[in-house]
Amino acid sequence: MNPHGRQAAAPVDLSRVRAYGDTLDDGQVMLSFSLPVPYGDEAKEAARQLARQMGLLQPQVYHAHDLGEGFTYFTVYARSPHSVDFTNIFVPKVGLAKLDHAAIEALWQATMGTRKLRVLGACTGDDAHTVGIDAILNVKGWRGDKGLESYHCFEVRNLGAQVTNEALVSAAREFAADALLVSQVVTQKDCHRSNLAALVDLTEAEDLRQDLLLLCGGPRLSHTVALELGFDAGFGAGTVPSEVAGFLVQTVIARQAAART
């Protein structure tokens, strides 16, 4: 017993972790979805049956809401019999030292002198969500962390929204960019994947890929997805500019050192 009169927590078997609701290993999960059927008892039964087909046990419809026009929204509580082996999980990480503004500037100046690292940013394809790329690039920055424009070591150009891959690559050539920073927020029908993969293809076709660091970011992007798509790094929700600045400076310096040896 602990001081609160509760049973001491049982040790967790990390090789078979299950969802946790009320008690360890009970497998309880909550799921929400909509169906294109009118609200009513038949709709709730349809939601239960669908949950069973997903492999969930004892599904209960906790909440159903009439969305109108023949659609219903559900929250279903159920038990999942599945587990994962947490000891066997590997997630690629950007993995470089996290440096603050002053350390980033000092590292660049000590190694590269007065040359500036040229950064070209854009929100590409049909995507008009510029707040994310602005948060990384603009002087004001994000969450008290100043954007790349506030660093002496960067020369930043932000092309804004709905930039085609062709226009971005053409601007990269004209600007002699060291790095392209691409934001993708809309992910409907996986348009972010096809658009980002097409950019990689285009930089290869234009014989620019080896001269550029390709970074992408957005709330549904990760370093893993970025690597899958042929980018050098990916940054997700909550990224602050200094993480990106640190990655850029350390990677360009490392590449330059590797090229010399």
Which of the residues 93, 116, 140, 146 is marked catalytic?
A: 140
Kindly tell me which residue out of 114, 188, 210, 261 binds ligand B12, with binding defined by CB under 6 A. Answer: 188
Token representation of residue 198: 């097409």
Token representation of residue 215: 């970074």
Smallest separation (angstroms) from ligand B12 to the CB of 181? 4
* 187 is a site residue for ligand B12 (CB under 6 A): yes
For the chain, strand residue ranges (E) read 28-35, 57-68, 71-79, 117-123, 154-158, 179-183, 213-217, 233-235
What is the Cα–Cα distance from 213 to 230, expressed in whole angstroms? Answer: 11
Sorted by sequence, the CB contacts under 8 Å of residue 90 that are 6+ apart come out as none
Number of H helices, E strands in the chain: 7, 8
> Residue 140 catalytic?
yes
**Radius of gyration for the alpha carbons in the chain, expressed in angstroms and rounded:** 24
* 142 is a site residue for ligand B12 (CB under 6 A): yes
* 139 is a site residue for ligand B12 (CB under 6 A): no
What is the Cα–Cα distance from 9 to 24, expressed in whole angstroms? Answer: 9
Site for ligand B12 in 42-61 (CB under 6 A): none
Smallest separation (angstroms) from ligand B12 to the CB of 184? 7
* 216 is a site residue for ligand B12 (CB under 6 A): yes
Question: For residues 78 and 179, which CB has a smaller minimum distance to ligand B12 in the complex?
Answer: 179
Q: Which amino acid, residue 46?
A: A
Report phi then psi at 152, rounded to 5: -70, -25
Question: For residues 144 and 238, which CB has a smaller minimum distance to ligand B12 in the complex?
Answer: 238
- Stretch binding ligand B12 (CB under 6 A), from 73-81, 98-106, 125-133, 166-174: 125-133
Site for ligand B12 in 219-238 (CB under 6 A): 219, 235-238
* 136 is a site residue for ligand B12 (CB under 6 A): yes
* 185 is a site residue for ligand B12 (CB under 6 A): yes
17 - beta bridge partners? 84
Smallest separation (angstroms) from ligand B12 to the CB of 125? 8
The residues annotated as belonging to the active site are 140
What is the binding site for ligand B12 (CB under 6 A)? 126-133, 135-136, 142, 181-183, 185-188, 215-219, 235-239, 244
